[in-house]
Amino acid sequence: MGSSNFAYIVFLLLIAGAPLSYAWGVDGHYMICRIAQSRLTSTASSAVLDLLPSGANGDLASECSWADNVRTAYPWSSPLHYVDTPDNLCTYDYSNNLTQALMFLAHFMGDVHQPLHVGFTTDAGGNGITVYWYTTKTNLHSSDQVSQWDACGSSSADCANK
């Protein structure tokens, strides 16, 4: 048996137990959160300390496996731990899609800060809520995403500074 075949078999044996593990495991989550907490600004660090349970003694890393520990108590949270992509959709060559990736990332950075992008399904992201923007009848989503920016005029830089 060649060394590449041996390495392949070892790899297969190692990943065979992967579904039984908790992704990074306790140590992996601990290390990631330890690094993350060390890189927080003082303001963000204070906010994190205020939110941590008292048993954490100010150590975010000590609580980073909490979500794995409560998966059975909170079954609704299970899909939050992973994303499955159908095999036929995971076939891109990243080097050919860097521009597209940048465009998606830039857009999603804006979306993640848009409050109506996280909400109840029944209001359709604010599209199902009628509002009046000055004298114009519109929906909350349009008002929040478009009308408010239109009020800034032609300078988006000035609007960002308001």
Residue spans of the domains in the chain: they are 3-84, 92-160
Q: Specify the amino acid at residue 138.
A: T
Q: Give the pLDDT confidence score for residue 80 in this predicted structure.
A: 75
Q: Which residue has the tokens 């800060």?
A: 113
- Determine the Cα angle at 99 with ends 93 and 103, to 5°: 120
- 68-102: pLDDT as tens digits: 888 899 898 887 777 667 777 766 566 666 777 77
- 39-78: pLDDT as tens digits: 889 999 999 899 999 889 999 889 888 888 888 998 988 8
Q: Give the pLDDT confidence score for residue 46 in this predicted structure.
A: 92
- 90-136: pLDDT as tens digits: 665 666 667 777 777 677 766 666 667 667 777 777 788 888 877 88
Single pTM value for the model: 0.45
Under DSSP, the state recorded for 152 is T
Dist. CA 25–CA 67, nearest whole Å: 11
Q: Which of 146, 144, 140, 117 minimizes the C-alpha distance to 127?
A: 140
Q: Element (H or E) spanning 5, and its range?
A: helix 3-16
- 137-160: pLDDT as tens digits: 888 777 665 555 566 666 555 555
Q: What is the DSSP string of 58-85?
A: T-GGGGTTHHHHTTTT-GGGGGGG----
Residue 57 neighbours by CB under 8 Å, 6+ apart: none
